[in-house]
Structures are given as C-alpha cells and as structure tokens.
Amino acid sequence: MITNVKQRPITKKQKQMLEDIQAELDLCYIPTSFGAVRHHCVKTNTHTQKGARQDVVGTVVIGSTRTQSACQKRHPQLMRLFKKFMKDHAPEFKFRTVYINIDTMCDAHFDHKNSGESLLIGFGDYSGGETWLFKMQADGSMKPYQYDISKKSISFDGSKIMHSSQKFTGKRYSLVFFQ
C-alpha cells in the first residue's frame, strides 16, 4: 500500500457532472498528441498514440511567467465546469490547472512541474485503463499498486510518486487537477 494516497468515491450526482464535462469536451478542440513534441507528450509516450488527445486548462508557466493556457482562452467554459465539479467532489482541494487526457495511455513518469498533490479522475465508456502508482521496494524494484479512477478519484504527489495508466478499450477521459 502507498501512504499519502487519498481516494474519494464518485457519487451518482458527480457521475452526471462528469457526463456533462465529457459532452462539453467533445465540442472543444483538444489537439492530438500524436507526433507532438510537447514535453509531457514525449515524457509519457502519448506522442506515439494515434488517437490520443491532450491539453491543459488554467494557468501554465512559460519561462518564468504564469499565464492562461491557450485552451483556457479558447474554452473558458471548461474551467467553470471543472470548478463546479470539484466544489462538489473535493471542495478542500486547491487547483489552478487541469490537464485533459482523452484516449491516452501514459508510460510511467513523474510530474516534476506540479506543486503538491494532484487529483486524478477518469470517466467515459471504457474498461481497463487503471492507474498504477509505484512504490520503491527494499530491493530497489518498483511495485505497482492499481487504482480504478472511474470509481474513485485519487490524489497523490505526482512529483514524488511514479505513475502510469494501463491499456483500455472504449473511450477514456481523465482529468488531472493540480497547482
């Protein structure tokens, strides 16, 4: 078991809110990750996945300047939906940025640019796609612990805990909320 991982069940009301978010995301331009040279796409290997799409809503740091992301400027309604969901799901959780993943399977990685805990949640019509968090064992090996983020969100420090997502079938969305 990994300490410092918090799980929160997803209620029926919150599932409906996620369906509303999914419907809105389907109307938005979320760029493909395939062939992208963006740092996170390469680090997680999503740039090799033809159906993968990713973008970021909220504030980003470019150089030493904090600014609104391009997606935030294109689709300001998304942050309103994300805030409404989080007010109901995890009102104490503070975030400035939401990373959107659509049909991505991420290789094991750390999120070095995130500050503190991230909250991860999955939704859509899919099976599989569990999130693995890795814990260093006494012999130096990494042991994976599996979490089904379609039933419970998880929060953990992604800059300190290596994590990945597994194979899935269907249409898989995930959101990563962080500072």
| pLDDT above 90 as % of the chain | 78
Is the pLDDT at 46 greater than 90, yes or no?
no
How many CA within 13 A on the CB side of residue 143? 9
The helix/strand/coil state of 106 is: coil
Write out the two tokens for 89. 């799901």
Tell me yes or no: is domain 6-178 CATH 2.60.40.420: no
Helix residue ranges, H only, the chain: 12-27, 39-44, 70-74, 76-89
Q: Nearest to residue 33, comparing CAs of 44, 17, 21? A: 44
**What is the tens place of the pLDDT at every residue in 86-127?**
999 999 999 999 999 999 999 999 987 777 899 999 999 999
Q: What pLDDT does 3 receive? A: 85
| pLDDT above 70 as % of the chain | 98
Q: Is 63 exposed, middle or buried (CB count within 10 Å of its CB: 0-12, 13-18, 19+)?
A: exposed
Q: Across the chain, what does the average pLDDT equal?
A: 93
Please give the Cα distance from 124 to 163 (Å, whole number): 20
